[in-house]
Chain A
Amino acid sequence: MPQQLIKVRPTKTELMKLKRRLSLAKRVQKIVRDRLFILMIEFVETARESVETRRRLLGDFSEAYKALSIAAGYHGYIALEKELVATEADSKITTGSRNIAGVRLPSFELMRAERAIRGYSFVDTSSCVDQAAQLAERCLEPIAELAELQRSLELLGMEIERTKRISNALEYVMIPALQATMKYLYMKFEERDREEKTRLKRVKVLLHQE
């Protein structure tokens, strides 16, 4: 595909400007590549971690449900439901952000609060309920972690796409266009030199003839 040329006047000043722009474009290309490199590392790592956390969470959920069904079997659904009516508790999560190469990613951290009393009667319940509650509480941390990872993954993905587009535009459009225009200008200057030489020779011949 023929390279598109930038519309410039064929002067030395324009050539200087183009040179400066080319050097800037190359420097920025390096930055964009570095940024892309960082984002890719983070993306892969986040994806890997996300899979691990999801697996852990599924394991924790399965254990918690197993314990809950044992507790339900032991006490009966109605009795268990009656006991668990007043056990709702708010979980505290610290939220913030962290910045990776210009991308602001969320950061969630579950505040661990040791709860001695869960809200149900210890007299009317067995250790099965304690076990189920403990296992269910264990699921909260991976849930917060997974939420953070999933959102980070989305944001990183979007930024990678955007950065890649810029990188490609620089690599395949802007820099080649600048180089092609510079080449064109050099050719123009050479042609002008040749014309000048021919003109001088012609003048010389004319002067000789006179």
Chain B
Amino acid sequence: MRFSPLIDQLMQALRCLPGVGPKSAQRMALHLLERDPQGAQHLIDSLQQALDKVDHCQQCRTLSETPLCPICADPRRDASLLCVVETPADLWALEQTQGYQGYYFVLLGRLSPLEGIGPDDLGLAFLLQRLQQASIQELILATNPTLEGDTTAQYIALRARNLKRPPLKITRLAHGVPLGGELEYLDGGTLVRAFSGRQVYTDT
């Protein structure tokens, strides 16, 4: 059975969302039209406002409604630390831990030749320019531990080392055993990395 052109158009529009296939799009469209027209209106308004007002932070490139995001605008954060992440979602994940008090730089991707993403697509010139600030003493590379994420981290490290600036400490997030995890269920690669990244035992 064919739906009316407008419903068809709505279902097609909903399919732009990741993970939404024809069936899910149909279910969502019918739910909004049949059961929750107020929710649909709220969705329209929220989407329109977000599209109008949300842009990228001028300093860290995460999504923000203001020229500087709340993190970059916070003078209480530690200006000696700069953490590079792949996506705004990674930034939010790190922020939720409340374990890091420095600033961020969001690449909005990672080097992925197979997806056509090269160094010019990641705002690396902007990152290197930012690294010229003498206040930054440590660059934390928090890209994902995938082939592309590792290559991105190595690329940034090489470029950062060649900068003419005071010595910069470059670190990478540790890889290893997750909290609550059990060794027997871990893959060999993770275990090897956990072993090579082991730390001196302290009582604190």
A binds B: no
Contact surface of B with A, Cβ cutoff 8 Å: none
Contact surface of A with B, Cβ cutoff 8 Å: none
